[in-house]
Structure 1
Amino acid sequence: RLLMTISWSRSIDITDKLTEEERKFLEAMITNGNRKILASKVKYSKVYSKILQNCPALLYDEVQAFYGAHRNLGKKALPKLYPKSIHVSKDGRVTVAWYALIHSPEVIDVIYHEYGMLPGTWKAKRFQKQYAIFKEYRDRKLTMKKVEEIRKLISEISSEIPEEWVWEKMKELFPDATWAVELNNVRRMLKHERKDKD
């Protein structure tokens, strides 16, 4: 059966909670340019126990607030909290990305109908398409052929915001701006932003 998940994240700096030895342990585990380590890679270390003791307070409060608002749905309305990745900066700061995860179909229905995403955004449009696929196939037993068809449909819903969509949005929001008229201007801006992120 088709499964849909919704998650959101918060990060927390735990540098000052770690010993110098523990920070060196993490530094030694870095194998890629983005300086990230999967939290599962340190699951059986002292570092992991410290990570578990330091969930971002805001994320914890958000989870409790959501559960409190939908307690009638039972424990399924309590998002799962877990640390996903660890980032060690070049100057030695250690930041952990924590996620809250929801996978109950009933709770996802509530999120779609009562919350949604910020109207008019690409994320809202993408969520609408994803939910439509989920709603159509969620209660069906799926053949391998149908699974492949669904995978193809999902792959067509890009997580990257299309340049054309950004262009149309800019023209809508800044109708008098001459720089928003040309698609090439938007492409240059997006290229510059992606370069800064890298």
Structure 2
Amino acid sequence: MRLIGMLDSPYVRRAAITMRLLGLSFHHEPVSVFRTFEQFRAINPVVKAPSLVCDNGVVLMDSTLIIDYVEALAGRSLMPADLAARQRDLRVIGLALAACEKAVQNVYEHQLRPAEKQHQPWVERVDGQRTSAFALLEEEVARLAVPVQESALSQAQLTTAVVWTFTQAMLPGAVDPAKHPAIASLTAAAERFAAFEAYPHA
């Protein structure tokens, strides 16, 4: 299998780390949707990262859908089987991905759109949504134990850590770690695991 996309994308990174934790063999190809658009389009005309080229040539898109497929392929999941625990983890993942989406929108607004075309009310709305998502995420993560072993890492913890690292790297100073100690502690622990070190935010 080939995982296409840059590791500065939190979506590519969460897929790569998940696949490694599941013990799956794959080749990561750091192709950019911006700098190498045509190269990416030759692989997937939609040019969406991450893209997973399966062994039979089928191309899958969207990190959540890719993770669903690779978990089925591996025959195991990073999600709990217990319904109540699964509901909790789905809420955590949903909040983390919502925060991530709003962080990405802010990055795109400031890095891709000319300053004279930026719409400040839109930026303020997006930033407010991100703030709310991280505040709620902090409440949820505070109820979780900090992982001490890579093998115990859940998809909720994995996704939260990837999103936090991305946000701190791309929007420095925008989300105060002092106000999110549970998320910061979880991320510090996760980033020391071999799977995270193998696929660092770049």
Band of TM-score, shorter chain: under 0.3
Higher strand share: 1
Structure 2 length-normalised TM: 0.25
Structure 1 length-normalised TM: 0.26
Higher helix share: 2
Q: Larger radius of gyration, structure 1 or 2? A: 1
